[in-house]
Amino acid sequence: MRDTDTELRVGDAMTRGVICVEAGDSVFSAAQVMEKNDISSVIVTRKGEGVGIITERDILGKIVTKSKDPKKVKVSEIMTKPLITIKPSASIDDAARLMRDRDIRRLVVEEKGKVIGVISEFDIVRIEPALHLLVREHSRWNISDVDVDEAGSVTGICEVCGNYSDDLKPVSGRMTCEDCVE
């Protein structure tokens, strides 16, 4: 079992002081906010409530490559929604796993319904580089979709209990040891 008292938590690694733009703002103004603050994403709000996120990647893929005018397009038209959130008390492992499973690079950290921070792959790499590499490799292999009968036994760390096993099985997209399968 993992030692939950010493395990790193999302709240330990997240970036605090979230910068937001309004859903009705132009993409151009959102890009200016990102540039001014040297950040790669902003939370999109409507009436003070977090409703989405816009990233540099969104701007490149949905505006620049489509030759759209960023001064005429509203943030709400290209934002990613809904926000995918995590609690500050969640483990870094849980955050990395959620990013991998949802194929995203950052999570919005919420507590009591309020956005309090953002945790990104970069934040995880900064504090736990080996974990990031393992999650990326796992993702690349798509090992959770492997037919274990064809592949033979799969060894590694159980994604439920964190223990090493010589016989992992894919269960609901997670590699699980024999003890946790039940």
Quick: pLDDT tens for 79-90.
999 999 999 999
Average pLDDT, the chain: 82
pLDDT reading at 172 higher than 80: no
Query: How far apart are the C-alpha atoms of 54 and 61, rounded to whole Å?
Result: 11
The β-bridge relationship of strands 20-22 and 15-16 is unpaired
CATH fourth-level superfamily of 10-127: CBS-domain (3.10.580.10)
72 vs 177 pLDDT, higher one? 72
State pTM to two decimals: 0.65
Residue 147: the pLDDT is: 47
Query: How far apart are the C-alpha atoms of 13 and 87, rounded to whole Å?
Result: 12
Residue 3: the pLDDT is: 46
Query: How far apart are the C-alpha atoms of 179 and 170, rounded to whole Å?
Result: 13
Tens of pLDDT, residues 111-130: 888 888 999 988 888 876 66
Query: How far apart are the C-alpha atoms of 24 and 20, rounded to whole Å?
Result: 12
Tens of pLDDT, residues 20-70: 999 999 999 999 999 999 999 999 998 888 899 999 999 999 999 999 999
Give the start-to-end residue ranges of the domains of the chain.
10-127, 142-181
> By the 8 A CB rule, do 97 and 135 touch?
yes
> By the 8 A CB rule, do 21 and 42 touch?
yes
Query: How far apart are the C-alpha atoms of 169 and 54, rounded to whole Å?
Result: 36
